[in-house]
Chain A
Protein backbone atom coordinates (compact mmCIF):
# COMPACT_ATOMS: atom_id res chain seq x y z
CA UNK A 1 0.00 0.00 0.00
CA UNK A 2 1.88 3.08 -1.23
CA UNK A 3 1.02 6.70 -0.39
CA UNK A 4 -0.32 7.08 -3.95
CA UNK A 5 -2.55 4.02 -3.47
CA UNK A 6 -4.02 5.57 -0.32
CA UNK A 7 -4.68 8.95 -1.95
CA UNK A 8 -6.19 7.20 -4.97
CA UNK A 9 -8.48 5.07 -2.79
CA UNK A 10 -9.52 8.21 -0.88
CA UNK A 11 -10.50 9.77 -4.21
CA UNK A 12 -12.43 6.68 -5.33
CA UNK A 13 -14.26 6.55 -1.99
CA UNK A 14 -15.24 10.21 -2.25
CA UNK A 15 -13.34 11.35 0.84
CA UNK A 16 -12.53 15.04 1.25
CA UNK A 17 -9.62 14.60 3.63
CA UNK A 18 -7.56 11.64 4.74
CA UNK A 19 -4.90 11.19 7.41
CA UNK A 20 -1.91 8.90 7.12
CA UNK A 21 -1.01 7.56 10.56
CA UNK A 22 1.95 5.21 10.24
CA UNK A 23 3.15 3.55 13.39
CA UNK A 24 5.61 5.77 15.28
CA UNK A 25 6.80 7.63 12.18
CA UNK A 26 5.83 10.42 9.80
CA UNK A 27 8.50 9.67 7.20
CA UNK A 28 5.97 8.68 4.51
CA UNK A 29 4.08 11.95 4.85
CA UNK A 30 6.00 13.95 2.21
CA UNK A 31 5.10 11.32 -0.43
CA UNK A 32 1.53 11.18 0.92
CA UNK A 33 1.11 14.97 0.68
CA UNK A 34 2.43 14.88 -2.87
CA UNK A 35 -0.01 12.11 -3.83
CA UNK A 36 -2.99 13.84 -2.15
CA UNK A 37 -2.21 17.08 -3.97
CA UNK A 38 -2.21 15.12 -7.23
CA UNK A 39 -5.68 13.68 -6.51
CA UNK A 40 -7.15 16.84 -4.97
CA UNK A 41 -7.57 15.32 -1.50
CA UNK A 42 -6.79 17.26 1.68
CA UNK A 43 -3.90 15.43 3.35
CA UNK A 44 -3.70 15.40 7.14
CA UNK A 45 -0.35 14.76 8.74
CA UNK A 46 -0.62 12.03 11.36
CA UNK A 47 1.02 9.25 13.33
CA UNK A 48 -0.21 6.34 15.41
CA UNK A 49 2.03 6.62 18.43
CA UNK A 50 2.58 3.68 20.77
CA UNK A 51 3.10 5.10 24.27
CA UNK A 52 5.24 3.58 27.02
CA UNK A 53 2.11 1.88 28.40
CA UNK A 54 1.54 0.35 24.92
CA UNK A 55 -1.51 2.47 24.26
CA UNK A 56 -2.04 3.57 20.68
CA UNK A 57 -2.72 7.27 20.20
CA UNK A 58 -3.80 8.90 16.95
CA UNK A 59 -1.84 12.14 16.55
CA UNK A 60 -2.88 14.74 13.96
CA UNK A 61 -0.90 17.84 13.10
CA UNK A 62 -1.89 21.09 11.42
CA UNK A 63 1.16 21.12 9.17
CA UNK A 64 3.51 18.63 7.58
CA UNK A 65 6.56 20.35 9.07
CA UNK A 66 5.32 20.06 12.66
CA UNK A 67 4.56 16.37 12.12
CA UNK A 68 8.05 15.75 10.75
CA UNK A 69 9.59 17.57 13.72
CA UNK A 70 7.52 15.47 16.10
CA UNK A 71 8.55 12.32 14.21
CA UNK A 72 12.24 13.17 14.68
CA UNK A 73 11.59 13.61 18.38
CA UNK A 74 9.71 10.30 18.66
CA UNK A 75 12.48 8.43 16.86
CA UNK A 76 14.83 9.21 19.75
CA UNK A 77 12.31 7.79 22.25
CA UNK A 78 11.88 4.40 20.54
CA UNK A 79 13.65 1.27 21.69
CA UNK A 80 16.86 0.83 19.77
CA UNK A 81 15.91 -2.47 18.13
CA UNK A 82 16.57 -3.27 14.49
CA UNK A 83 13.60 -4.41 12.42
CA UNK A 84 13.52 -8.04 11.32
CA UNK A 85 11.50 -7.89 8.10
CA UNK A 86 10.79 -11.65 8.10
CA UNK A 87 8.97 -11.24 11.43
CA UNK A 88 7.53 -7.73 11.41
CA UNK A 89 7.37 -7.04 7.67
CA UNK A 90 9.16 -4.46 5.55
CA UNK A 91 9.13 -0.85 6.77
CA UNK A 92 9.20 0.94 3.45
CA UNK A 93 9.66 4.70 3.23
CA UNK A 94 8.78 6.34 -0.09
CA UNK A 95 10.50 9.31 -1.66
CA UNK A 96 8.27 12.24 -2.56
CA UNK A 97 7.26 10.97 -6.01
CA UNK A 98 7.63 7.29 -5.09
CA UNK A 99 10.48 6.76 -7.53
CA UNK A 100 12.73 5.63 -4.72
CA UNK A 101 12.20 3.67 -1.56
CA UNK A 102 14.31 2.67 1.36
CA UNK A 103 13.72 0.57 4.44
CA UNK A 104 13.62 2.07 7.90
CA UNK A 105 15.98 -0.07 10.02
CA UNK A 106 14.67 0.98 13.42
CA UNK A 107 11.78 -1.26 14.55
CA UNK A 108 8.67 0.93 14.35
CA UNK A 109 6.30 -1.49 16.06
CA UNK A 110 7.95 -1.07 19.45
CA UNK A 111 6.88 1.53 21.99
CA UNK A 112 8.02 5.07 22.71
CA UNK A 113 9.31 5.95 26.16
CA UNK A 114 6.70 8.76 26.27
CA UNK A 115 3.88 8.03 28.71
CA UNK A 116 0.27 8.70 27.74
CA UNK A 117 0.29 12.00 29.59
CA UNK A 118 3.72 13.10 28.36
CA UNK A 119 2.68 12.29 24.79
CA UNK A 120 -0.54 14.31 25.08
CA UNK A 121 1.24 17.49 26.16
CA UNK A 122 4.17 16.96 23.81
CA UNK A 123 1.84 16.65 20.82
CA UNK A 124 0.01 19.80 21.97
CA UNK A 125 3.34 21.62 22.05
CA UNK A 126 3.77 20.76 18.35
CA UNK A 127 0.33 22.24 17.64
CA UNK A 128 -1.25 18.82 17.20
CA UNK A 129 -4.13 16.91 18.77
CA UNK A 130 -4.21 13.31 19.89
CA UNK A 131 -6.81 10.83 21.03
CA UNK A 132 -6.85 7.15 22.04
CA UNK A 133 -7.10 4.80 19.08
CA UNK A 134 -9.58 1.90 18.61
CA UNK A 135 -10.79 1.87 22.24
CA UNK A 136 -13.20 -0.95 21.30
CA UNK A 137 -10.34 -3.33 20.58
CA UNK A 138 -8.69 -5.71 23.07
CA UNK A 139 -5.08 -4.83 22.23
CA UNK A 140 -3.12 -1.59 22.48
CA UNK A 141 -6.19 0.43 23.48
CA UNK A 142 -6.39 2.74 26.49
CA UNK A 143 -9.33 0.77 27.87
CA UNK A 144 -7.66 -2.64 27.55
CA UNK A 145 -4.33 -1.50 28.98
CA UNK A 146 -5.54 0.72 31.84
CA UNK A 147 -8.89 -0.98 32.44
CA UNK A 148 -10.61 2.39 32.64
CA UNK A 149 -10.78 5.50 30.48
CA UNK A 150 -8.55 7.89 32.48
CA UNK A 151 -9.55 11.43 33.55
CA UNK A 152 -6.07 12.65 32.72
CA UNK A 153 -4.79 13.72 30.25
CA UNK A 154 -7.92 15.64 29.15
CA UNK A 155 -8.75 13.90 25.87
CA UNK A 156 -11.62 15.46 23.91
CA UNK A 157 -12.01 12.59 21.45
CA UNK A 158 -11.72 8.86 21.21
CA UNK A 159 -11.64 6.56 18.22
CA UNK A 160 -13.70 3.44 17.60
CA UNK A 161 -12.83 0.93 14.92
CA UNK A 162 -16.49 -0.02 14.57
CA UNK A 163 -19.39 2.39 15.12
CA UNK A 164 -21.60 -0.53 16.25
CA UNK A 165 -19.54 -0.76 19.45
CA UNK A 166 -20.41 2.76 20.64
CA UNK A 167 -23.31 1.81 22.94
CA UNK A 168 -21.50 -1.13 24.47
CA UNK A 169 -18.29 0.77 25.13
CA UNK A 170 -20.01 3.88 26.53
CA UNK A 171 -21.99 1.69 28.94
CA UNK A 172 -18.72 0.30 30.30
CA UNK A 173 -16.90 3.64 30.31
CA UNK A 174 -19.31 6.40 31.37
CA UNK A 175 -16.68 9.10 30.94
CA UNK A 176 -16.71 8.87 27.17
CA UNK A 177 -20.39 9.86 27.01
CA UNK A 178 -19.34 13.49 27.23
CA UNK A 179 -16.65 13.09 24.57
CA UNK A 180 -16.71 13.12 20.78
CA UNK A 181 -16.29 9.82 19.01
CA UNK A 182 -14.37 9.53 15.79
CA UNK A 183 -14.53 6.49 13.60
CA UNK A 184 -11.30 5.41 12.02
CA UNK A 185 -11.08 2.69 9.40
CA UNK A 186 -7.71 1.65 10.89
CA UNK A 187 -7.01 0.38 7.37
CA UNK A 188 -3.82 -1.63 7.26
CA UNK A 189 -4.48 -2.77 3.69
CA UNK A 190 -6.29 -1.36 0.67
CA UNK A 191 -9.20 -3.81 0.90
CA UNK A 192 -10.11 -2.40 4.33
CA UNK A 193 -10.12 1.12 2.99
CA UNK A 194 -13.39 2.97 3.39
CA UNK A 195 -14.80 0.52 5.98
CA UNK A 196 -15.35 3.44 8.29
CA UNK A 197 -15.74 7.15 7.70
CA UNK A 198 -15.60 10.08 10.08
CA UNK A 199 -17.70 13.20 9.80
CA UNK A 200 -16.89 16.58 11.26
CA UNK A 201 -19.06 19.62 11.35
CA UNK A 202 -16.65 22.46 10.74
CA UNK A 203 -17.00 26.13 11.37
CA UNK A 204 -18.74 27.89 8.44
CA UNK A 205 -16.15 30.61 8.51
CA UNK A 206 -13.21 28.39 7.64
CA UNK A 207 -11.28 29.72 4.66
CA UNK A 208 -11.92 27.89 1.38
CA UNK A 209 -10.36 25.78 -0.06
CA UNK A 210 -10.05 23.84 3.18
CA UNK A 211 -6.58 23.06 4.42
CA UNK A 212 -5.50 20.52 7.00
CA UNK A 213 -4.38 23.38 9.24
CA UNK A 214 -7.91 24.77 9.56
CA UNK A 215 -9.39 21.29 10.09
CA UNK A 216 -6.98 20.42 12.90
CA UNK A 217 -7.21 23.86 14.48
CA UNK A 218 -10.98 23.56 14.58
CA UNK A 219 -10.60 20.34 16.60
CA UNK A 220 -8.25 21.87 19.19
Chain B
Protein backbone atom coordinates (compact mmCIF):
# COMPACT_ATOMS: atom_id res chain seq x y z
CA UNK B 1 0.00 0.00 0.00
CA UNK B 2 1.31 3.45 -0.82
CA UNK B 3 0.92 6.65 1.20
CA UNK B 4 -1.97 7.93 -0.99
CA UNK B 5 -3.91 4.72 -0.37
CA UNK B 6 -3.10 4.68 3.34
CA UNK B 7 -4.27 8.30 3.71
CA UNK B 8 -7.51 7.48 1.99
CA UNK B 9 -8.04 4.20 3.90
CA UNK B 10 -7.55 5.92 7.25
CA UNK B 11 -9.39 9.06 6.17
CA UNK B 12 -6.42 11.22 7.11
CA UNK B 13 -6.01 14.92 6.55
CA UNK B 14 -3.12 15.54 4.16
CA UNK B 15 -0.64 18.11 5.47
CA UNK B 16 2.27 17.47 3.12
CA UNK B 17 2.40 14.89 0.34
CA UNK B 18 5.46 15.32 -1.86
CA UNK B 19 5.59 11.60 -2.69
CA UNK B 20 2.19 9.94 -2.38
CA UNK B 21 3.37 6.93 -4.38
CA UNK B 22 5.89 5.97 -1.69
CA UNK B 23 5.32 2.41 -0.51
CA UNK B 24 4.48 1.90 3.17
CA UNK B 25 6.38 -1.16 4.29
CA UNK B 26 5.88 -1.22 8.04
CA UNK B 27 4.44 0.75 10.96
CA UNK B 28 6.23 2.39 13.87
CA UNK B 29 4.80 4.32 16.80
CA UNK B 30 6.65 6.47 19.32
CA UNK B 31 6.98 9.97 20.67
CA UNK B 32 10.48 10.01 22.12
CA UNK B 33 12.42 11.27 19.13
CA UNK B 34 15.77 9.74 20.05
CA UNK B 35 14.07 6.38 20.57
CA UNK B 36 12.44 6.61 17.14
CA UNK B 37 15.76 7.65 15.58
CA UNK B 38 17.43 4.49 16.83
CA UNK B 39 14.61 2.04 16.09
CA UNK B 40 12.22 3.04 13.31
CA UNK B 41 12.88 1.35 9.98
CA UNK B 42 13.06 2.77 6.49
CA UNK B 43 9.71 2.83 4.69
CA UNK B 44 7.66 2.99 7.88
CA UNK B 45 4.50 4.95 8.53
CA UNK B 46 5.48 6.61 11.82
CA UNK B 47 2.55 7.43 14.09
CA UNK B 48 3.20 10.08 16.74
CA UNK B 49 1.68 12.95 18.68
CA UNK B 50 4.92 14.93 18.50
CA UNK B 51 4.73 17.98 16.26
CA UNK B 52 7.90 19.96 16.79
CA UNK B 53 10.33 20.73 13.99
CA UNK B 54 12.52 17.75 14.86
CA UNK B 55 9.77 15.41 13.67
CA UNK B 56 10.70 16.34 10.07
CA UNK B 57 14.39 15.75 10.78
CA UNK B 58 13.76 12.37 12.40
CA UNK B 59 11.39 11.28 9.60
CA UNK B 60 14.10 12.16 7.06
CA UNK B 61 16.81 10.44 9.08
CA UNK B 62 14.94 7.13 9.33
CA UNK B 63 13.60 7.51 5.77
CA UNK B 64 9.98 7.11 6.90
CA UNK B 65 7.39 6.66 4.15
CA UNK B 66 5.15 9.09 6.04
CA UNK B 67 4.43 10.60 9.43
CA UNK B 68 0.89 10.30 10.81
CA UNK B 69 0.10 12.88 13.47
CA UNK B 70 -2.47 11.33 15.81
CA UNK B 71 -5.27 12.94 17.86
CA UNK B 72 -5.29 16.02 15.64
CA UNK B 73 -2.26 17.34 17.52
CA UNK B 74 -1.66 20.96 16.67
CA UNK B 75 1.14 21.60 14.21
CA UNK B 76 2.41 24.92 12.90
CA UNK B 77 2.26 25.91 9.23
CA UNK B 78 6.00 26.52 9.40
CA UNK B 79 6.67 22.87 10.25
CA UNK B 80 4.30 21.66 7.51
CA UNK B 81 6.23 23.87 5.06
CA UNK B 82 9.51 22.32 6.23
CA UNK B 83 8.03 18.85 5.72
CA UNK B 84 7.20 19.72 2.09
CA UNK B 85 10.67 21.11 1.45
CA UNK B 86 12.35 18.09 3.05
CA UNK B 87 10.18 15.69 1.06
CA UNK B 88 8.42 14.33 4.17
CA UNK B 89 4.89 12.97 3.66
CA UNK B 90 2.81 14.15 6.60
CA UNK B 91 -0.76 13.10 7.41
CA UNK B 92 -2.99 13.86 10.36
CA UNK B 93 -5.89 12.03 11.95
CA UNK B 94 -8.33 12.68 14.81
CA UNK B 95 -7.92 9.03 15.87
CA UNK B 96 -5.60 8.05 18.71
CA UNK B 97 -2.37 6.11 18.14
CA UNK B 98 -4.11 2.95 19.34
CA UNK B 99 -7.13 3.48 17.07
CA UNK B 100 -4.87 4.14 14.09
CA UNK B 101 -2.93 0.94 14.74
CA UNK B 102 -6.15 -1.09 14.99
CA UNK B 103 -7.48 0.45 11.74
CA UNK B 104 -4.23 -0.20 9.93
CA UNK B 105 -4.25 -3.81 11.11
CA UNK B 106 -7.88 -4.32 10.05
CA UNK B 107 -7.91 -2.39 6.79
CA UNK B 108 -4.39 -2.11 5.48
CA UNK B 109 -3.05 -5.54 6.34
CA UNK B 110 0.34 -4.18 7.39
Question: Do the two chains bind?
Answer: yes
| List of B residues within 8 angstroms of A54 by Cβ | 32-34
A sample of 14 inter-chain contacts (CB < 8 A) reads A54-B33, A54-B34, A79-B37, A79-B38, A81-B38, A84-B61, A87-B57, A87-B60, A87-B61, A109-B54, A110-B37, A111-B32, A138-B52, A139-B54
Which range contains the number of A residues in contact with the other chain? 10 to 19
Main secondary structure of the interface of A (DSSP, over half): loop
- What size tier do the contact residues of chain B reach? 10 to 19
Interchain pairs with CB closer than 8 A, number: 32
Among residues 5 to 19 in chain A, which have CB atoms less than 8 Å away from a CB atom of chain B?
Answer: none
Task: Tell me whether B61 and A79 are in contact (CB under 8 A).
Answer: no
Interface of B is mostly: helix
CA–CA, A107 and B75, complex, Å: 25
A81 to B36, CA, bound (A): 12
- Which of A53, A81, A138, A139 lies in contact with B37, CB distance below 8 A? A81
Check: A45 CB closer than 8 A to any chain B CB.
no
**Interchain CA distance A139-B57 in the complex, whole Å:** 15
Residues of A within 8 A of B54 (CB): 109, 139
At the interface, yes or no: A142 with Cβ under 8 Å from chain B? no
